Amino acid sequence: MEGRARGSPEPFFLTAHRALASIVPLELGYLVSTPIADLFYLLWREKRESTRRNYARLLNRSPDDPEVERLARNSFRHFGRYIAELLSVQGWDLDDLRDRVTIHGDDHFAEALAHRRGVIFTSAHMGSIEIASALLLLHGYRVTSVMNPLRPRWLHWWVVKVRERMGVTLLPTEGTGLRLLRALRRNELVALVLDLGVMNGEGRPVTFFGHRTYFPTAPARLARLSGAPILFGLAVRRPGGRFAAYVSPPIFADPSLEPEEDAHHTTQRVLEHFERFVARYPDQWYPFRDMFPLDGTLP
């Protein structure tokens, strides 16, 4: 995709990647990704079992239930399609993006930015993360986000460079709160993900699909400190290599509440949007980390 990076020339392999992506059809990438995803589902026992436990909790069924098995396998296949998109979308221009993506709630971006406090864009490991990122580029937003280290190191470096070319600055997850606040004060966009799993990151007890679990409250706390509205958004796949993107109405922190109560209340409101999309497109969610306490209880 046509980038916004300035300064030093981009690495040769990124230039070659973009050139190759422009001539390899996305549909071919999808076709190749399916058997590879099936192989990973067979071999990657830890992620497969976590995924099945999560779907079992959502459906209130056994992890061995055939419907749970179907959703878990399809989730791996959709993730394979996401990897194909990560490789392919770099070759698209903005006309390709506009032609393939239908946006619902696009006006909510302007509504949120009108408050001049920046925007906290929240999303999840679901659907086409690449398309959701590209939509921000389509609007010309400067985006700051955070990312856990990836292994191997070359993969982390590659993702950072690809995102940088799209106008997205990726920061480490630790010690970046002040930088995120500064970005919001410049009326920029901060992007954060919600579904980090019960063992990852600071969180508060919330209800998700009728079950008590933890979700991170960083977006809610940033909203309270900065006055910035929160948007929840994502992009999902539709037939024919097309996509539908959704953006929620702005969600604001409530300064009349105590800080902890506000963090819980605001996070729960964001999760209501996330729940609706998981219910509608369950196999486009990538719940490869345990999202619920394994014993079903909270301390």
What H or E segment, with its residue span, contains residue 56?
helix 45-59
Q: Predicted confidence band at 149 (pLDDT cuts at 50, 70, 90)?
A: low
Q: Which structure tokens are listed for 268? A: 């729960």
Q: Which of the two residues, 5 and 296, has the higher pLDDT score?
A: 296
Quick one: pLDDT at residue 168? 76
Quick one: pLDDT at residue 5? 42
Closest CA to 243 of 18, 20, 82: 82
Q: Across the chain, how many H-helices and E-strands are there?
A: 11, 9
The Cα–Cα gap between 237 and 202 comes to 31
Residue range 134-156: mean pLDDT, rounded:
72
Q: Predicted confidence band at 176 (pLDDT cuts at 50, 70, 90)?
A: confident
Q: Give Cα 129 to chain centroid, integer Å.
A: 5
Closest CA to 109 of 178, 188, 167: 188
Quick one: pLDDT at residue 25? 81
**DSSP class of residue 296?**
S
- Out of 110-119, 155-164, 188-197, 283-292, pick the least confident: 155-164
**169 Cβ contact partners less than 8 Å away, ≥ 6 residues apart:** 142, 143, 144, 145, 163
Residue range 32-46: mean pLDDT, rounded:
96
Residue range 17-22: mean pLDDT, rounded:
56
Quick one: pLDDT at residue 3? 42
For the chain, the maximum distance between any two Cα atoms, rounded to a whole number of angstroms, is 55
The pTM of this model reads 0.86
16-55 exposure pattern, b = at least 16 Cβ within 10 A, e = fewer? ebbeebeeeebeebbeebeeebeeebeeeeebbebbbbbb
Quick one: pLDDT at residue 169? 77
Residue 171 three-state SS: strand
Q: Give Cα 154 to chain centroid, integer Å.
A: 21
Q: Which structure tokens are listed for 123? A: 């999303």
Residue 117 three-state SS: coil
Residue 129 three-state SS: helix
The Cα–Cα gap between 11 and 28 comes to 26
Strand residue runs (E) in the chain? 101-104, 119-123, 143-146, 168-171, 189-193, 203-208, 211-216, 230-238, 242-247
Angle at 102 between CA 101 and CA 108, to 5 degrees: 115
Residue 115 three-state SS: coil
Q: Predicted confidence band at 287 (pLDDT cuts at 50, 70, 90)?
A: very high
| pLDDT higher than 70, residue 150 | no
Q: Which of the two residues, 104 and 161, has the higher pLDDT score?
A: 104
Owner of token pair 């995102």: 163
Q: Which structure tokens are listed for 116? A: 């001049």
Angle at 204 between CA 268 and CA 181, to 5 degrees: 80
Per-residue pLDDT of 60-99, as tens digits, reads: 999 999 999 999 999 999 999 998 988 787 667 778 888 8
Q: Predicted confidence band at 103 (pLDDT cuts at 50, 70, 90)?
A: very high
| pLDDT higher than 80, residue 53 | yes
Average pLDDT, the chain: 86
